[in-house]
Structure 1
């Protein structure tokens, strides 16, 4: 399977779960803007796209989304199914997957992920709430991988523009 096909497949899988790349870019944009004056949503979107082009990121996204889907369809055995459905606070595997993505562009992604996981901005908070309030919907993993993608995109931007200057030159 070509890298472009894998990228398109990943984007399609996110859309199936009602997540657009704009949603992720919005998070990366807002959490990096104060460090990168001049940052645009377009530049944040390009960074999100670069993150999603990495094969190891695609694999983590696929596994995470599949675990949510299998849990919704009751195809995961107990006691794990209930732990995932409840998004049990001490489970932590979902955060490990988010951090695996977040650090794919350096360790700064680790702190960025902790920030977005804590405040749950934008689509992350919406998905977290849906998962906790809508019977039959599991969002245990998707909110964390989205946070990881946004944090990795922010980390990538910080590395690309270490002096905090962002211009239109890519």
Structure 2
């Protein structure tokens, strides 16, 4: 039986602590996989844009990506699968958060095609921390007014 697909997690698996990997060795392996018809998949909780940035030195278009904890699967510009949160689902989580966790200060981050979204009350320091995981961060007045497909909602305490 021939291998058709190889998938790897990123943080703590392929990536070193400094968020790099052996680009030359990886490119050699990609060439071998291409010759044998093997698809290389990068799977992560990271956003697609972040994943592609990690692979910039080896041409990110050579890989398939499973991003946002599995909510978005892409190859090149083609979306192979996606699981989008509805406005009703987002509203339900926001309501739960305000009713049950109101006494705790937390950060809400929504992740979508166009980037990550945080409240316009987030400080510059908080936004710098969010940019460590999300390359494109937008501040918004109301989460339910975001004009983007949302894949994930994170609550950070």
Q: Which has the higher strand share?
A: 2
TM, length-normalised to structure 2: 0.26
Greater relative contact order, per chain length (Cα 8 Å cut-off, separation 6+):
1
TM, length-normalised to structure 1: 0.25
Larger Rg: 2
